[in-house]
Copies of this chain bind each other. A is one copy, B any other.
Amino acid sequence: MTDTALPPVPDIIRSAYATLVVTDLAEARRFWVDLLGFVVTFEDSSAIYLRGYDELAHHNLILRAGREAAAGPLGFRVRSAADLGRAQAYFGALGCRYERLPAGAVRGLGEVIRVEDPLGFLIDFFDRSDHPERLQQRYDLRRGAEIARFDHFNICVPDVPRAYDYYSGLGFGLSETIEDGQTLYAAWMYRKQTVHDMAFTGGAGPRLHHLGFFAHEAHAVLRICDIIGSLHIEEHIERGPGRHGVSNAFYVYLRDPDGHRLEIYTSDYYTGDPDHPVLRWSVQDPRRRDFWGNAVIPSWYTEASAVLSLDGKLQPVTEIEQQAESAVRVGADGYTAPAGLVE
A86 within 8 A of B: no
- A248–B303 alpha-carbon span in the complex (Å): 31
Interface string of A1-44 (1 = CB under 8 A from B): 00000000000011000000000000000000000000000000
Residues facing B in A319-343 (CB within 8 A) are 338-343
From B80, B223, B303, A139 is in contact (CB under 8 Å) with B223
Partner of A341, one of B149, B235, B341: B235
A226 contacts across to B, CB distance below 8 A: 137, 139, 243, 291-292
B193 near A338 (CB under 8 angstroms)? no
> How far is it, in angstroms, between the C-alpha of A299 and the C-alpha of B339 when the chains are bound?
12
Chain A residues 201-249 with CB under 8 Å of chain B are 216-219, 222-223, 225-232, 234-237, 241, 243, 245, 248
* Interchain nearest-CB distance for A109 vs B (Å): 12
A97 at the interface (CB under 8 A from B): no
The verdict on A56 contacting chain B, using a C-beta distance below 8 Å, is: yes
The answer on a CB contact under 8 Å between A137 and B292 is: no
Asked whether, in the complex, the Cβ of B292 is within 8 Å of the Cβ of A229, the reply is yes
User: Does A79 interact with chain B (Cβ within 8 Å)?
Assistant: yes
Contact call B13/A293, Cβ cutoff below 8 A: no
Q: Are A273 and B56 in touch, CB under 8 angstroms?
A: yes
Q: Which residues of B contact A236 (CB under 8 A)?
A: 341
A274: chain B residues within 8 A (beta carbon): 13, 79-80
Taking a contact as CB atoms under 8 Å apart, the answer to whether B299 and A234 are in contact is no
| Shortest distance from the beta carbon of A111 to any chain B beta carbon, whole Å | 15
CA distance A339 to B250 in the complex (A): 26
Q: Check B217–A243 contact: CB distance below 8 A.
A: no
CB distance from A330 to the nearest CB of B (A): 11
Q: Which residues of B contact A225 (CB under 8 A)?
A: 243, 291-292
A231 to B287, alpha carbons, bound, how many Å? 11
Please determine whether B294 and A237 come into contact, CB atoms closer than 8 angstroms: yes
**Is A57 located at the chain interface by the 8 A CB criterion?**
yes
The chain B residue sitting closest to A270, CB to CB, is B149
Q: With contacts A259-B341, A287-B229 known, is A248 near B137, CB below 8 A?
A: yes
Interface membership of A275, Cβ < 8 A = yes
Pair A54/B137 contact, Cβ less than 8 Å? no
- Residue of B243, B269, B338 near A235 (CB, 8 A) is B338
* Complex Cα–Cα for A54 and B276 (A): 12
Q: Which residues of B contact A341 (CB under 8 A)?
A: 235-236, 255, 257, 259
Q: List 16 A-B contacts (CB under 8 A).
A: A14-B273, A54-B269, A54-B270, A137-B245, A139-B226, A139-B227, A192-B193, A192-B270, A193-B193, A218-B219, A234-B293, A234-B338, A235-B293, A241-B241, A257-B341, A259-B341
What are the 8 tightest A-B residue pairs by CB atom distance, in nearest-first order?
A234-B293, A229-B291, A139-B226, A259-B342, A139-B230, A140-B230, A235-B341, A225-B292
Residues of A within 8 A of B (CB): 13-14, 54, 56-57, 77, 79-80, 128-129, 131, 134, 136-141, 148-149, 192-193, 216-219, 222-223, 225-232, 234-237, 241, 243, 245, 248, 250, 255, 257, 259, 267, 269-270, 272-277, 279, 286-287, 291-294, 299, 303, 338-343
